[in-house]
Amino acid sequence: MSAPAETWQSYAQLLVRLSPRISHILFAGADGSTWWSSEPSNASRVQYALSLLHKPPTTRSTEIDGLAETEDSTESRYGFRIRGALGELLALVVIALPQPDARLGLRAVHSVIKPALDCLQSELSARAAARAAIGELHESLADNNRELDLFQRLSETAAAHGVESRTNSNAGQ
């Protein structure tokens, strides 16, 4: 479901406007594959957080679907799962914050960037719905084509039998 790079750059700009000290942003698919990184050559900085985020949560005791990874004393990584209306995983977002913001809790970071995450969730949900509708349309068209093929074969068979019947009735005269 990856969008064009301009889409990710726009969301990255929005995230940075909301939290100017963000030092790295990574957008990934539900499967953990990277869609866009603010520093592709330095994406390894957030890979551990991405791998943790990609694993299904053992419990969902809070309304924030994410994690804070603070193994590094100079920088913390915060990851968020973007879900659709039915709870399906649409995307993963990981940001890195240097000190002193690295000491912030997950709830504090989430509250600052929530508008961007909500916009992204809306867009990805709309894209998923559009893809589903297109898939249904393709299935419907395929069904219609199968029905037309069957109708055509039946018409050809009926026409062939009709010709034989007229030929046989003409032979009897």
pLDDT at 171 over 80: no
User: What's the pLDDT score for residue 136?
Assistant: 63
157 within some domain: no
173 within some domain: no
10 within some domain: yes
**Alpha helices (runs of H) in the chain, residue ranges in sequence order:** 5-18, 44-54, 106-171
Q: Which long-range contacts (CB under 8 A, 24 or more apart) does 55-59 make?
A: 57/81
Q: Please give the share of the chain, as a percent, with pLDDT higher than 90.
A: 47
* Domain of residue 81, CATH code: 3.30.450.30
The count of domains in the chain is: 1
pLDDT at 166 over 90: no
User: What's the pLDDT score for residue 58?
Assistant: 67
Choice between 149 and 110, residue whose per-residue pLDDT is larger: 110
pLDDT at 134 over 90: no
Measured between alpha carbons, how far is 73 from 116 in angstroms, rounded to an integer? 26
Query: What phi and psi, each to the nearest 5 degrees, are found at residue 154?
Result: -65, -40
**Which secondary structure element, helix H or strand E, spans residue 34, and what is its range?**
strand 34-37
Q: What are the tens digits of pLDDT across the range 115-129?
A: 999 999 999 999 888
154 within some domain: no
pLDDT at 22 over 60: yes
108 within some domain: yes
152 within some domain: no
Choice between 158 and 119, residue whose per-residue pLDDT is larger: 119
Token pair listed for 34: 């990277």
pLDDT band at residue 19 under the 50/70/90 scheme:
very high
165 within some domain: no
Q: What are the tens digits of pLDDT across the range 54-76?
A: 887 766 556 899 999 887 778 99
The per-residue b/e assignment along 21-54, b for 16 or more CB within 10 angstroms, e otherwise, is ebbbbbbbebeeebbbbbeeeebebbeebbeebb
Report yes or no on whether pTM surpasses 0.75: no
Residue 8 near residue 36, CB atoms below 8 Å: yes
74 within some domain: yes
Token pair listed for 12: 């990255």
Q: What's the rounded mean pLDDT across residues 84-112?
A: 91
Domain that holds residue 113: 5-128
